[in-house]
Structure 1
Amino acid sequence: MLLRYTYRVYPTAPQRSALARVFGCVRTVYNDAVAARRAAHAAGLPFPSTAALDKQLITAAKRTPERAWLAEVSTVPLQQALRDCHAAYRNFFDSMKSGRAGARIGPPRFRRRTNRQTARYTRNGFRLRADGRLYIAKVGDLKIAWSRELASEPSSVTIVKTPAGRYFASFVVAVGDDLERLEPITDPDAETGVDLGLKSFAVLRGGKTIDNPRFFKRMERRLKKAQRALARKQPGSSSRAQARIRLARVHEQIKNRRDDWLHKQVKDLVSENQALYVEDLCIEGLSRGRGAKSVRDAALGKFLLLLESKAARTHRVFVKVDRFFPSTRLCSACGILSGPRGLEGLAVREWACPCGARHDRDANAETNIRREGKRLLAAGLADK
């Protein structure tokens, strides 16, 4: 199992300049690789291999006046850029052949000079010093803030510069399947359905709710203020660059608060329950409909991904219920479809079944999701 550990790094001014050169060279080599493959396709020739592109775009290019500056940086991140290009084309072809899960993706495009830059190093390009610093080839020793120890020796590290001007080191480490295993919970009631929504972020067993924090909405006024300040600055000026960083930091603060909250909720759910049953929502469709801003603010898709990943690492049962299962309309007492339906039914929070049972909309849905998940699990049909 591969895990990623991310830490903040604090490069000096010369190191920031060196990293800027690395980011620019990585982007150039990637774009040259895309251009070479496009030219081969236009000429009706087979795509050049990664090894051939390595010789042409890195080794030979360093000896030309136009690309001589590639020699100023380590070869390792340049080679990783070629591998990234190869992986992008492989994913594109797999998508066209329906051999890749998810929606179809387009062919690789040229990378632009954006405010987020990355460069990846394998073991040949970095080293962890005894004093806790991170050595990057042709950059130097970077000061790193260790918030926790690595689980094992890292196989690669990605240096990331965010739009807010902060630098991070993201390590990939291989760990055993038992690293985060939790003790099994024998209590038969230690399981819950998870009914996600917007009014409440989630409703759990017994009517327990998790409030929707709405991080974006709470900071939207501050965000608008920063956006207006940026719009008033003259393009190309230093004051505009500073305003852009202030705006990026607001966005980053929203993201960090949301991610921290999601990880805490996932940890609590996994530690308190032996089995988790969720509805396989179509997040992409919800993000385009009415209330799309609230759906994106809640980050329901990321929550489900984190919950599934954490459940797998801790050896908890995780079952997805089909998105077309009528969890809201189904009466949990008698089993008939008598609940509210359609867009007009979204405002109905409580309803009464002809059998005499009265239901809270979300609590009833959680009960039905949990029962359906247990049925799928018992029948061996669960997509765990």
Structure 2
Amino acid sequence: MMGGMGQTVRYRYRAYPTAVQEQALRRLFGCCRVVWNDTVRLFRDHFDPTDRNSVPKPGEAQKIVLTDAKKTPERAWLGEVSNVALTQIHRDAMRACWNGVRHARRQRMARYRSLKRNPVNSARFTANGFAIRDNGKVYLAKIGDIKIRWSRALPSVPKSCTILQEPDGAWYVSFTVTRETEPLPPCGTDAAIDLGFTHLGELVATDGTRRRIDAPKPLNRLRRQLARFQRKEARQQQTSNRRRRTRQRINRLYAKARHQLDDYQNKQALRIVRETQTVGLETLNVSGMSRRHGRSILTVAPARFAAKLKAKAEQYGRTIVQIGKWEPTTRLCSQCKHHVDGGIPEQVRVWRCADCGSILDRDYNAALNILDAAGLAESLNAHGGDARLRLATAGRSSRQGTANPSDGTRKHSGLGIPVL
């Protein structure tokens, strides 16, 4: 990646609207939710799978949902809020509806939003709906000047501005900007990472080193506090202010865990990008992993870490190579390419290859196979003949035992794995 290229990113800052502005913003969010629901209803009423032209054109649909609706007594109050934000939510709803009926995208049909289940807690303004004042405040159309805590300077003139409120009650302003890439000096080391849920991942590098990236799991440390407040919330009256305050404390704990996890993952991703030139990653089946492992995947969030790693690699001129999700990285011996038919049970973390007899660490062996599949393992030969075995081996254990031993006569054996 060459220097001077632009990268579209978001810069988010803490916002402090006044009580009157908060009331106006919640009114805006409610109007956005109504426009979303009206757009989804319009699409569902007119969409015909056999006729792609049955849905009104974008300009006609916007006229029906916004312009004509404001002239009726039932929707006259839509004119009290900014039309810029309503136009953006209408376009987002139309895009979501079309994505839900396209066969090329695995996305469900856009659904109605409710104040209780899935409320709209954000509004996006284009360039003609916001402005940054000289005193540091941000002006939003029909909202006013909002106080912002500027933690860093914007790299360029923002294209859009989004005001949002998190479940814990904190307000934020997010700007979409173009940032110039900052290529780092070339590095001769490539690496591959096997992402997981016990640890964040295992990294194997072509310079002959390997290391395990721990997962802090901050949400697990807050489980007792969360359980205490959730029991307290269950005993309180549904619509009481005390229940509302308890719910806010619960949301703050979740936000604290999320911020700690994001901070840790950002630091780890930046370290990897600085130390390596190209990183090999596997394509994760997050939905399948979540169904099988549940909270273990959600607390580690490997997909979010991969997204951070890609963004930082783009920013600093590094390369990310992703292999297919069906590559047999775990069940393949990285030394002799012996394939274990039927897979390896998840409780087996160390196993012996039935063909070459190598004692392999499950995760480091998978990382080495990812390095091979990504085409990054050429320089391993410069570190001696035992470099590959040293990266994948787990060391001998005194608890060695054999379960359904394989005779090792077949290249593709499904007879079992000696367990260590």
- Secondary structure at the residue paired with 1:71? helix
Counterpart Cα distance in 2 of 1:314 and 1:192: 16
Match in the other structure for 1:163: 167
In structure 2, the CA distance between the partners of 1:92 and 1:49, relative to structure 1 (3 Å rule), is same
Counterpart Cα distance in 1 of 2:377 and 2:74: 62
In structure 2, the CA distance between the partners of 1:323 and 1:35, relative to structure 1 (3 Å rule), is closer
Q: Contact 2:349 / 2:361 at 8 angstroms: preserved in 1?
A: no
In structure 2, the CA distance between the partners of 1:29 and 1:377, relative to structure 1 (3 Å rule), is farther
Aligned pair partner of 1:36 in 39, 42, 50: 42
Match in the other structure for 2:97: 89
Counterpart Cα distance in 2 of 1:357 and 1:59: 71
- Secondary structure at the residue paired with 1:374? coil
Q: Contact 1:277 / 1:369 at 8 angstroms: preserved in 2?
A: yes
Aligned pair partner of 1:133 in 130, 137, 141: 137
Q: Tell me the CA shift for residue 75 of structure 1.
A: 1.0
Residue 131 (structure 2) pairs with residue 123 (structure 1): no
Give me the TM-score of the superposition, normalised by structure 2. Answer: 0.80
**Unaligned ranges ≥5, structure 2:** 1-6, 380-420
In structure 2, the CA distance between the partners of 1:116 and 1:81, relative to structure 1 (3 Å rule), is closer
Identify the structure with the greater helix proportion.
1
Q: Tell me the CA shift for residue 347 of structure 1.
A: 2.6
Match in the other structure for 2:19: 13
Aligned pair partner of 1:226 in 202, 206, 229: 229
Q: Contact 1:29 / 1:57 at 8 angstroms: preserved in 2?
A: yes
Q: Contact 1:340 / 1:346 at 8 angstroms: preserved in 2?
A: no
How many residues are treated as equivalent by the alignment?
A: 364
Match in the other structure for 1:23: 29
Q: Contact 2:338 / 2:353 at 8 angstroms: preserved in 1?
A: no
Residue 117 (structure 2) pairs with residue 111 (structure 1): no
Q: Deviations over 1:256-291 (max 9, x none)?
A: 1111111111111111100111222322211111x3
Match in the other structure for 1:74: 82
Q: Tell me the CA shift for residue 121 of structure 1.
A: 0.5
Counterpart Cα distance in 1 of 2:325 and 2:35: 43
- Secondary structure at the residue paired with 2:347? helix
Match in the other structure for 2:245: 242
1:196 partner letter:
L
Q: Tell me the CA shift for residue 352 of structure 1.
A: 5.6
Identity %: 37
Q: Tell me the CA shift for residue 198 of structure 1.
A: 2.8
Counterpart Cα distance in 2 of 1:37 and 1:361: 50
Match in the other structure for 1:63: 71
Q: Tell me the CA shift for residue 340 of structure 1.
A: 9.7
- Secondary structure at the residue paired with 2:108? coil
Q: Contact 2:69 / 2:76 at 8 angstroms: preserved in 1?
A: yes
Q: Contact 1:328 / 1:340 at 8 angstroms: preserved in 2?
A: no
Q: Tell me the CA shift for residue 83 of structure 1.
A: 0.8
Q: Tell me the CA shift for residue 337 of structure 1.
A: 3.3
Aligned pair partner of 2:324 in 322, 325, 328: 322
Q: Tell me the CA shift for residue 106 of structure 1.
A: 2.6
Counterpart Cα distance in 2 of 1:148 and 1:213: 27
Match in the other structure for 1:312: 314
Aligned pair partner of 1:257 in 256, 260, 279: 260
Give me the TM-score of the superposition, normalised by structure 1. Answer: 0.87
Note the aligned Cα RMSD (angstroms): 2.4
**Unaligned ranges ≥5, structure 1:** 379-384
Which has the higher Rg, Structure 1 or Structure 2?
2
Match in the other structure for 1:175: 179
Q: Tell me the CA shift for residue 350 of structure 1.
A: 4.8
In structure 2, the CA distance between the partners of 1:354 and 1:130, relative to structure 1 (3 Å rule), is same
- Secondary structure at the residue paired with 1:174? strand
Match in the other structure for 1:273: 276
Q: Contact 2:43 / 2:94 at 8 angstroms: preserved in 1?
A: no
In structure 2, the CA distance between the partners of 1:199 and 1:74, relative to structure 1 (3 Å rule), is closer
2:155 partner letter:
A
Q: Deviations over 1:337-370 (max 9, x none)?
A: 3699432x53332536553433222222222221
Q: Deviations over 1:277-312 (max 9, x none)?
A: 1222322211111x3211111101111222223223
In structure 2, the CA distance between the partners of 1:72 and 1:196, relative to structure 1 (3 Å rule), is same
- Secondary structure at the residue paired with 1:193? strand
Q: Deviations over 1:222-271 (max 9, x none)?
A: 11112111111101111111111111111111111111111111111111
2:247 partner letter:
R
Q: Contact 2:290 / 2:297 at 8 angstroms: preserved in 1?
A: yes
Q: Deviations over 1:35-73 (max 9, x none)?
A: 22333348x982223322333333333333322222221
In structure 2, the CA distance between the partners of 1:116 and 1:89, relative to structure 1 (3 Å rule), is closer
Q: Contact 1:340 / 1:348 at 8 angstroms: preserved in 2?
A: no
Stretch of structure 1 that moved more, 117-126 or 309-318: 309-318
